[in-house]
Structure 1
Amino acid sequence: MRPFVFGLAERLGLAGFVCNDAEGVAIEVEGRAIDAFAAALRAEAPPLARIDAVERRPLHACGGTGFVIAASRDGGAVATAIPADAAMCESCLDDLFDPASRFYLYPFVTCTQCGPRFTITRAVPYDRPNTAMAGFALCPDCERAYRDPHDRRFHAEPLACPICGPKLSSPIAAIGAALRAGQIVAVKGIGGFHLMCDARNEDSVAALRRRKSRDAKPFAVMVANPASLDRFAIPEAAERTLIAAPSRPIVLMRLRPGTLAPSVAPSLARGGFLLPYAPLHHLIFHDLAGRPEGRDWRDQAQPMALIATSANPGGEPLVVEDEEARHRLAGIADLIVTHDRPILIRADDSVMGIAAGGPVFLRRARGFVPDPIDLGGDGPCVLGVGAHLKATVTLTRGREAFVSQHIGDLDTAETLRFYRETIAHLARVLDVSPEIVACDLHSDYASTRYAESLDRPLVRVQHHAAHLAAIAAEHRQTGPVLGAALDGHGLGDDGGNWGGELMIVEGASWRRIGHLRPLALPGGDRAAREPWRMAVAALYAIGQAESAAARFADIPLAAALVGRVASAPTTTSLGRLFDAAAALLGLRTHQEYEGQAAMELEALVSEPQQLPDGYVLADDVLDFTPLLAVLAAPGIDRRAGAELFHGTLIAGLAAWIAQAAARLGTNAVALGGGCLMNRVLAEGLSVALARQGLSPLLARQVPCNDGGLSLGQAAMARIWAGSAR
């Protein structure tokens, strides 16, 4: 904002100053065009600026002349935040490939409108001494640009050039040669290291899978430019727009068959694509294209596509330090490329898709964090500690909620260390200390144990209530909210395994008013990893348990399990219903990653088909046993079964929700939980509810999965605090 404000004041002939302070950007102007200045602040703000409010008060004229950018003011509680990282802008891209520019082929070129922000900043205000660039003294040319109000790099904090800035450990030519030779390269980027290889080369992709111990989970693919997308994907218009945003997320889109290595996204119809967002990425593609001159190549489809997956072996946090990379990635990468600009904050690539007419998050991180979510009103500072899987944390300050970057599953000491570091960093840069902590009901979650270790009032929020509260918070829904929470697992109020719940969330309280018919959960948590167990439970439910041994003859435990189904715990989880359907259709008996069976089932769907009488709805209990009986029939086609499953699921859920909405006299319905990552389900259910006059609300600003739970926890705890006072 400061360079923009300077230029605007100079253009209008105003005197005064602009600076950062604890509350935001402070501006003092004197002259005849103050009203025009105030109007232009919003109307002409630069693309990356976010103006939440403009507070204006008159001052006595002091007869000043000239306008300056003043030093940041210290003191007082901080009310600003660090900007999110932004992709390289077109102007810097021009400089990168202009032989006459002093930034020619320099992999760290940046300006005020692009580059790393959050990941290189240790404290506010966002000034160079508080960033990873503090150790790089500006050369005379960069110093002049930094001080020149008419230069595009005026007060660009990450500013550097080949003379004074960071340097790569390996030449670009060596990176390109390794990738062309089919090797795996670890590349230090903005928020961590990527592992890269030729996405068209099956041997390279398969080797990456073996070395990273990642059997089947899909890899993200980076292409050179928007024109190259069409070689490897079949993007929709909204997906094209989303992937090119300054945040540069990974975007799910339909794969073009036969163009990428089979191991990129096994058995899936959609894959994740992203565009280059750092200068280094563009330089790699430039080398792979043969180092062409001019700019035409930047707009032409390029034949190369690169795997760009996070470098985090064994489910550990993303690698960010050079020595750590040399130690942890030595057995994975053939070449490790580092540089001497520190990454202060880990941040994975964000993952998004388009569903029901708008963007949705699967993972929220680089490019979006730490942008706040406006809660619509002030409240106490609350820490929501999130769940155990896909963990995030949320800190509130005033009317804003700051949701952290994706942290991961809290299963390792390294991830728990990252989790605690993230909380400490957020509290430091926001200059807050939480008054209240909110956690899940589940006592075995590492996040719950962390919350219990803090000397703060503790609010325990039921898992599915938090899913729905997060949606209510971002849509600023007040009063009772009807919602369907559909996921894999969450501890219920009764100590049971919930996951297909119809609930009312009101303020800091919640009430379950309906659920899916319970199915047995043979083996407990193992059933989530072994869908054949849920198929046995389904066969038991439809009175065909005796067929389990023959159906799963290659699984010795299947016959023995039949006799134990009756005494197994039960679950209302929609996620486990997906698993049962996938196993009954012979699609998958064991999962190599979370949600694999459901994703492969969704990939088979072209057009959902409703099975007549495929569900029973009685007393707010929704029973899909008739559907399971059809899916269990011998010889049913997998694709036909997948389409019947999705179509009947949508119809049943819509009828279930609409019945409750009519009884309660409500119109808006929150749809949350990890099952809503299924695009067929999210869109089909949204359309079906809209046809019945209801307004479905999806998670748009945080993931619908457990990555959004911390927001819901924090929102409910704020309300609890207000009522307690």
Structure 2
Amino acid sequence: MSVASQVQVERRHVEVTGVVQGVGMRPHLARIATDLAVVGWCRNTTAGVVLEVEGRPEAVSAFVDRLVTELPPLARIDTLTSAAVPCRGEAEFVIDASGPAAGVRALLPPDTAVCADCLTEMSDPDDRRYRHPFITCTNCGPRLSITYDLPYDRPLTSLVDFPMCARCEGEYRNPADRRFHAQPIGCHDCGPTVWWSVGSAGSSADGVEVGGEAALAAAVEALAAGKILAIKGIGGYHLACDAGNDAAVQELRGRKMRPDKPFAVLVRDLVGAQTIADCDDPTAREILLGPQRPIVLLPQRADAPVSAAVAPRLGELGVMVAYAPLHHLILTDLESRTGRPAVLVMTSGNASGEPLTYRDEDAHRDLGPLVDGILGHNRDIVVPVEDSVVAWSAATGVVPVRRSRGYAPLPMQCTSPDPGLEVDGSGQAGPHTVLAAGAELKNTVAVGSGGRVHISAHVGDLETLSARRAHQKVTDQLLAFHRSRPAAVVADLHPAYSSREWARHYAAELSIPVVEVQHHHAHLASLAAEHGRLGEPLLGLVFDGTGYGCDGGIWGGELLHLVDGGARAERLGHLGTVRLPGGDAGVRNPVRTAALALLDAGLTWDGTPIADELSPVEAQVIRAAHERGLATTETTSMGRLFDVIAAVLGICHRVSYEAQAAIELEAAARGVSRQWRKTGTISENRSVLKLAFPANGGKGQTATLDPGELVRDLVGHVRTGTPVPVLAAAAHEAIARGSADLAAHAAARTGTTVVGLTGGVFVNRLLLAATSRALTEHGLTVLTHQHVPANDGGLALGQAAVGLQWLRDHPPAAPTHPTTADSKEIHPCV
């Protein structure tokens, strides 16, 4: 008797989009179907998961309900549509082969940390995957980093090179197994393997020597002996050494030419993290142990068994709990040798200024001369993925610093989806699809369509040819994943940025317009997009180191008003100008900028650390710059004001990495009180010394903050011997208070009472907390970044958001919009 002939039977066609591939969704559906005794099928498509389910009406209804409420751990549903269709009377519920689908592409899931179940199996001598370095299941492991194309199926990943053995094949096809349709499945018999190669500083690696357990043993032996290794992880290579071995850490700094920038450290578990950092707060623990496993910036314990050279003068560590099975094996073996938690320096595997190394041949060539050995494996990395970084404090919560592994390439939904704005899936331009080229530093790339923006993993600084090639490859991969051909390219306004030049060439090749967006406008649009507020006016304090202004100047301490759906940003105020002597030389030498700032404020260098730090030649040049204005550049950059303060206080006079002076100034301010560890603030009773930082300007004119007043007040206290930590804290409070006053004046003028805090300076948690508090005291609502970095790593989101609005206002008349590199559509600065 046909099932279809029974009145009490119904069938529904269901389409689901979101993070529904590579997360065990189809096996999960099959298990629900078995449990409810319904029949039908499901398959991956380029858009998501499509299924049909048939059975008794109450069972079908329960199936759809459980589909939404009982998701696999890594899954996320964005949309679900359901429609009645004729019954077909199958005998069972099956997983069909993947097929194509028109419309928006499926969301490719990020790489995630190895799950507890897999770790248990890997630690069990009786389990067939005991000590398997690549153990994984539907709930964990590599995804983005191994994927060539969608839909996410094994033939379209780098696991295509590893045919499953009979036992793995059986698990893969068993609906009751945790590895049912787990695409990266493998074991000792059929999966990837590790290898060990000897390298040495000054020479290339000598080739593969041993594999398997012998390779692991060689790597562990080398680390225990204080050697420096290159270790291939999920998304690329790391450089590693014993974090407690001062000689090894110093040697690594020398080989990598990284004298001061802090290194991240890797521990096996929470116990290891607790031996080196304060991570007792439940939120901090949740971040540390979550599936994303970012590097988390946490206060360092005074008795941490870590070399002072790991994070010099900062008082905190970037802590990462092991996320790859290979990491767990290395750390477990090290701990068995020493009887104590192992802590490894784990820093990006790249030569100075170059992108992340992820291909084996590049590792031998580029990293071999830097290391004593290479621990690699034969599972190819398709998409390189850097570690994510988040800061945290009790006052600010999570502060994103770098959004990459564990988070990318998941999109941000910045406006309500509009079906008329989607990509058609054919490779042709959708009417509103934009490609954002991103920033010059901390680059990411983004593709925006239908109110949703997909942001790439971290690319890095575009200072070298290889970095720009990496930018091109990431762009091509992101567009390929989404079958997108953009209708416009968005770039920064800065005429010297390689990202802008690339955008112009790319747009000319496709005959599409370039939309150039001012740097700080894009920062504020990024924050508005993250909070879904592009349709509402928003004030923004946008503080960073450098951004090309609409007037051709160097901006960086801006008060903007975002209007017209994010399409325009009005400049209502800014920091008063600070002069840079020698341009970039002043950035690299904050003492020079500080010396000129003192002279410009009518002060001498007497009684300050500057007097002893400047060389006679530098002093002569600075005096000439002050008197005759030679070789100086004016800037409104808040980052440069932080440089001045750090140098005046004797905290940092020369820098070897971006924002070093500001980072060390924040660390000094945290030293004013132990309260930081508990509350994330400097002082709750506002007893911190108050320094002058007045806001000038009123109705009808651009308001400014006077850096000269702050410098004069600060120097006076330096000369009377006020402790440096107290002055560092006071400077943070003064900037927060003055900035809030500036925003309050603007709120009164415009009627806009929501203020966003964005730009790289607001990665500083002390300033973020203090400014938020001061704005709240003015009765204003504050928005901060929760998911996308305030620094240039979030700029592509803002560019894409502005670009989407621009395309809505200037819809292309045809699938392509003819233009040339010399006849561009330029987004206006206001």
* TM-score scaled by length of structure 2: 0.84
Counterpart of 1:351 (choices 372, 389, 393) is 389
Quick check: 120-129 or 175-184, which moved more? 175-184
The 8 Å contact of residues 611 and 648 in structure 1, kept in 2 or not, is answered as no
Residues in 1 aligned to 2:443 and 2:221: alpha-carbon distance in whole angstroms: 38
Residue 481 of structure 1 is matched in structure 2 by 538
Structure 1 Cα separation of the partners of residues 367 and 189 of structure 2:
30
Q: Is the CA contact 2:592–2:618 (under 8 Å) kept in the aligned structure 1?
A: no
In 2, the alpha carbon distance for the partners of 1:690 and 1:116 equals: 42
**RMSD of the alignment, in Å?**
1.6
Deviation, structure 1 residue 631: 2.3
- The answer for the alignment partner of 1:296 in structure 2 is none
Kindly provide the CA deviation profile for residues 303-337 of structure 1, in whole angstroms up to 9, marking residues without a partner as x.
32111111011121111111211111112111101
Is residue 690–residue 730 contact of structure 2 (8 Å, CA) maintained in 1? Answer: no
Which residue of structure 2 lines up, in the alignment, with residue 257 of structure 1?
302
Paired residue for 1:120? 146
Residue type of the alignment partner of 1:559: Q
For these two proteins, the number of residue pairs brought into alignment is 717
In structure 1, the partner of 2:638 is: 574
1:162 is matched with 188
C-alpha distance in 2 between matches for 1:444 and 1:539: 30
Residue identity in the other structure for 1:262: A
- Residue matched to 2:12: none
1:7-52 CA distance string (max 9 Å, x none): 1111111100111112211010001211111111121101100100
- Report whether the alignment pairs 1:627 with 2:710: yes
Relative to structure 1, the CA distance from residue 546 to residue 151 in structure 2 (aligned partners, 3 Å threshold; closer, same or farther) is closer
Alignment of 1:337-348 (within 5 A): 337-348=375-386
Supply the distance in 1 between the matched residues of 2:255 and 2:296 (Cα, whole angstroms): 25
For the Cα contact (< 8 Å) 2:230–2:239, is it kept in 1? yes
Structure 2, unaligned stretches of length 5 or more? Answer: 1-24, 197-214, 422-431, 674-681, 698-702, 812-830
Give the alignment partner of residue 641 of structure 1, picking from 727, 741, 750: 727
2:64 aligned with 1:38: yes
* 8 Å Cα contact 1:239-1:353 kept in structure 2: no
Which position in structure 2 is the counterpart of 1:283?
A: 329
Amino acid at match of 1:359: V
Where does 1:358-369 land on structure 2 (aligned, <5 Å)?
358-369=397-408
C-alpha separation between the residues in 2 aligned to 1:217 and 1:550?
A: 26
Instruction: Determine helix, strand or coil for the equivalent of 1:26.
Output: strand
Which residue identity is paired with 1:24? Answer: G
Aligned mates of 2:322, 2:772 — CA distance in 1: 33
Does residue 464 in structure 1 map to residue 520 in structure 2? yes
Deviation sequence 1:231-261 (CA, Å, 0-9, x none)? 1011233211101110110000001124210
Distance in 2 (alpha carbons) for counterparts of 1:43 and 1:690 = 38
Partner letter of residue 51 of structure 2?
A: I
Q: Deviation string for 1:394-439 (max 9, x for gaps)?
A: 1013232111111111111110010000000000011101111111
Say which of 573, 581, 594 aligns to 1:514: 573
Shift of 1:537: 2.7
Give CA-to-partner distance per residue, 1:445-484, whole Å, 9 cap, x none: 0100001102221111110000000000111111321111
The corresponding residue for 2:425 is none
In structure 2, give the amino acid aligned to 1:182: G
1:531 aligns with 2:590: yes
1:69-112 CA distance string (max 9 Å, x none):
11001253452022100100011001101111110001011000
2:664 to 589, 594, 600: 600
Rounded to whole Å, the distance in 1 between the matches of 2:95 and 2:72 is: 17
Q: Does 1:652 align with 2:729?
A: no
- Rounded to whole Å, the distance in 2 between the matches of 1:555 and 1:595 is 26
CA distance in 1, matches of 2:284, 2:619: 43
1:617 is aligned to 695
Residue pairs, 1:372-387, within 5 angstroms: 372-376=411-415, 377-378=417-418, 379=421, 380-387=432-439
- Residue 384 of structure 2 aligns with an amino acid whose one-letter code is R
Partner in structure 2 of residue 101 of structure 1: 127
Looking at structure 1, the residues matched to 166 and 61 of structure 2 have their Cα atoms a distance apart, in angstroms, of 38
Residues 397 and 432, structure 1, Cα contact 8 Å, conserved in 2: no
Q: Deviations over 1:644-664 (max 9, x none)?
A: 111111111111112211222
SS of residue in 2 equivalent to 1:166: coil
Partner of 2:623: 562
2:447–2:453 Cα contact (<8 Å) kept: yes
Task: Provide the TM-score with structure 1 as the length reference.
Answer: 0.96
Aligned CA distance change for structure 1 residues 413 and 11 (closer, same or farther; 3 Å): same
1:263 CA drift (Å): 0.3
Q: What is the aligned partner in structure 1 of residue 248 from structure 2?
A: 204
Aligned to 1:238: 283
Mean Cα deviation higher: 192-201 or 622-631: 622-631
* Aligned mates of 1:495, 1:537 — CA distance in 2: 22
Kindly state the Cα deviation for residue 497 of structure 1 after the two structures are TM-superposed: 1.0
Q: Distance in 1 between matches of 2:604 and 2:546?
A: 24
Corresponding residue for residue 297 of structure 1:
none
1:227 partnered with 2:271: yes
Alpha-carbon distance between aligned partners in 1 of 2:411 and 2:246, rounded to the nearest angstrom:
41
Give secondary structure in 1 for the equivalent of 2:285. helix
| Aligned equivalent of 1:295 | none
Residue equivalent to 1:65: 91
Match of 1:502 among 556, 559, 576: 559
Offset of residue 357 of structure 1: 4.0
Map Cα deviations across residues 158-201 of structure 1 (whole Å, 9 max, x no partner).
00100011111132221111111111111111000111111011
